Amino acid sequence: MGHSVFRKDSKCKFLYREVGFLFKRRLWRFYTGNLQSQDEMDEDKYKEFLANQQKTPMRVVSDSSSKKCWWMFRGEFYVEDEGYSMIEVAALIMDMMQKKEKKIHRIIARAKQIESDSLPVRQPIPDDVKILVWQRDGGRCVECGSQQNLEYDHIIPLSKGGSNTARNLQLLCEGCNRSKGANLS
């Protein structure tokens, strides 16, 4: 037994031809690959068809030789070969949309996880190390001697492999620390 088909078909389109001499009008016809519909729609019927396919799947054309049927729903074309009803096609399309949405959510969650895993987690400086550095540096900026707005500075920045040990920490005032930036002192 053959494999049933229900999928989007990106090769489909409607094209028009202009007819008439003084009063030109457009006649629209469906095309996909080598297949085209026998029927043409005037401009009004075409606009009505486009409006209706926004609300419900609309059968576009059937190919009796391959038993395939093309549908249009919300600007997308679908092909099937099981003779589905409009309600069945709507259910299948909604199922496809839900699966796609779930897949996108999983991919976004995975990307966020990868992003968060790649960001370094900055560990807080242990209290005993802070006390040791404070006592060693006398509660003053090691650069200018200020006692205002003191900060614990990493001599070798964490971003360059430094650690939270007393050997790698010093007291700097806010001004001296900002002028240092991520450079090694």
| CA 10 vs CA 17, 20, 71, 115, 180: distances in Å | 21, 31, 12, 34, 58
* Beta-bridge partner residues of 70: 61, 79
Pairing of strands 13-19, 150-154: unpaired
Going by the DSSP 8-state scheme, the letter that residue 22 receives in this structure is S
pLDDT, tens digit (0-9, with 9 covering 90-100), for 86-130: 999 999 999 999 999 999 998 888 888 777 666 667 789 999 999
Mean pLDDT, the chain, integer: 89
Q: What is the pLDDT of residue 146?
A: 94
The CA distance from 28 to 16, in Å, is 4
Q: What is the pLDDT of residue 179?
A: 86
Q: What is the pLDDT of residue 180?
A: 79
The domain segmentation of the chain, as residue ranges, is: 6-95, 127-180
Contact 78, 93 (CB under 8 A): yes
Contact 156, 162 (CB under 8 A): yes
Q: What is the pLDDT of residue 1?
A: 47
Residues of the chain with pLDDT under 50: 1, 185
Pairing of strands 6-8, 35-36: unpaired
pTM score, whole prediction: 0.57
Residue 60: partners with Cβ closer than 8 Å, 6 or more residues away: 12, 30, 37, 70, 71, 72, 77
Residue 27: partners with Cβ closer than 8 Å, 6 or more residues away: 16, 17, 18, 19, 40, 41, 42
The CA distance from 110 to 31, in Å, is 40
